[in-house]
Structure 1
């Protein structure tokens, strides 16, 4: 008898894995990093707890693409080309509430969707650095009681009234927040 697989790592210039992995019903960890995937894979096993998709060519994530991944606790989409997450250039809709780690760094995300954020009640680590954020909407992080680490560095922050919520939220937290920020004539790195 063969032991069921609980972990798979593919680094083989793959372009499409849609529905190929669904038969692995007990699969818990999947790494498809450093491939040529242009979109978020469809038909992944619902048993997945960790999904690593960094360093691909993913440009968009359809609304509800993650909906059936109710056991997912770690999602890494670092260093892709995400510009549009339908219908907005924002966080994916219907993210699993089980997520504790979410890495969306080094993409082109320009907005945080409040509806998507509100479902992330177990999120502890959030990396949204190196994107195109200019501000954070009012109450974006208020419903995330377990959030302890946020990386907001290297975004396109605009120092206007829209940024006041983020400023006040940062002052009220004992969490670790890394922020690399640029203002006119000044560049700085700091832990807040």
Structure 2
């Protein structure tokens, strides 16, 4: 016969399993699309073919992975309830624009990854509230220009990647606030070294090269084969017209709050059975059959753990009563 100590240990193990299942089920109440750890401070929605962000991400999330999806638009307020975020991965999507104010509530964010998207411009002040940011990746986009003062608030930034874009120059004083910067990636941009608009950048890179900043020699002139930091005022004597650096984001690019998923090829299930359970704003687009099976299996596991826990409690009470 099982002793009281062994019975108590079994009870603790089963209770722990039940709590773990409960946390996992709570995190997966979006239908099993995303997964998270038991403490709910890390949510992984990567590689799910999402076209919009699920609405049931826990508010205490600190690490949110949305990379490798099909996101092309963001709602201006999509992150406003995630004020504890420290890491936000949006890389490897299809983002064409960022709405004004989209990151304004993320004052604790330290790592923002926007690389490998289709961004052609940035709205004014898009990073102004991110005063804790230490890493920002904007490489492998289609940026043609940068707004004036776009990095002014990023005084703690240590890593910045702007490589593989369509940048010809940067605005005056663009990098002046980046006193903590350790690495700057600028390669594979068509830097125009024939216009005097490049002189600020050339002088800044030359100064930072003497101070040991990494990556200052990665910016190469589109023509002539020189590094930008080697360019003098004599080399860039032409007074060229600078491109518009404050392109506004059209209102039409903002995502309506009702959009969550689109045309993922999937096996349809009856809408009425899942509408309340899934919690999507637009229940016409339901998860795929494997995602439903994942959610169902999670709840079956939860029920099994609950039954075993109840049985263990009854056994302990029965044993103690006899004793």
| Bucket of the pairwise TM-score, normalised by the shorter protein | 0.7 to 0.9
CA contact (8 A) 2:128 2:152 kept: no
Q: Which segments of 5 or more consecutive residues in structure 1 lack a partner in the other structure?
A: none
1:50: Cα distance to partner? Answer: 0.4
1:85: Cα distance to partner? Answer: 2.9
User: Which residue number corresponds to residue 197 of structure 2?
Assistant: 162
Q: Which has the higher helix share?
A: 2
User: Which residue number corresponds to residue 103 of structure 1?
Assistant: 137
Higher relative contact order (CA 8 A, sep 6+): 2
* TM-score of the superposed pair, with normalisation by structure 2: 0.53
Q: Which segments of 5 or more consecutive residues in structure 2 lack a partner in the other structure?
A: 1-18, 24-37, 228-323
CA contact (8 A) 1:58 1:81 kept: yes
CA contact (8 A) 2:44 2:65 kept: yes
User: Which residue number corresponds to residue 100 of structure 2?
Assistant: 63
Tell me the matched-pair count: 184
Q: Which has the higher strand share?
A: 1
CA contact (8 A) 1:97 1:121 kept: yes
User: Which residue number corresponds to residue 85 of structure 2?
Assistant: 48
Per-residue CA shift, 1:22-53, capped at 9, x if unaligned?
Answer: xx122111111110011235432111100111
User: Which residue number corresponds to residue 33 of structure 1?
Assistant: 67
CA contact (8 A) 2:123 2:147 kept: no
Given the superposition, is the C-alpha separation of residues 185 and 134 from structure 1 closer, same or farther in structure 2, using an over 3 Å criterion? Answer: closer
CA contact (8 A) 1:135 1:166 kept: yes
| 1:176 corresponds to 2:209 | no
SS at match of 1:118: coil
* TM-score of the superposed pair, with normalisation by structure 1: 0.86
Structure showing greater radius of gyration is 2
| Alpha-carbon distance in structure 2 between the residues aligned to 1:84 and 1:171 | 27
Question: Which of 157, 168, 171 lines up with 1:134 in the alignment?
Answer: 168
Aligned CA-pair RMSD: 2.2
1:143: Cα distance to partner? Answer: 1.4
Per-residue CA shift, 1:80-106, capped at 9, x if unaligned?
Answer: 01124346xxx7353511110000001
| Alpha-carbon distance in structure 2 between the residues aligned to 1:126 and 1:103 | 6
| Alpha-carbon distance in structure 1 between the residues aligned to 2:93 and 2:110 | 20
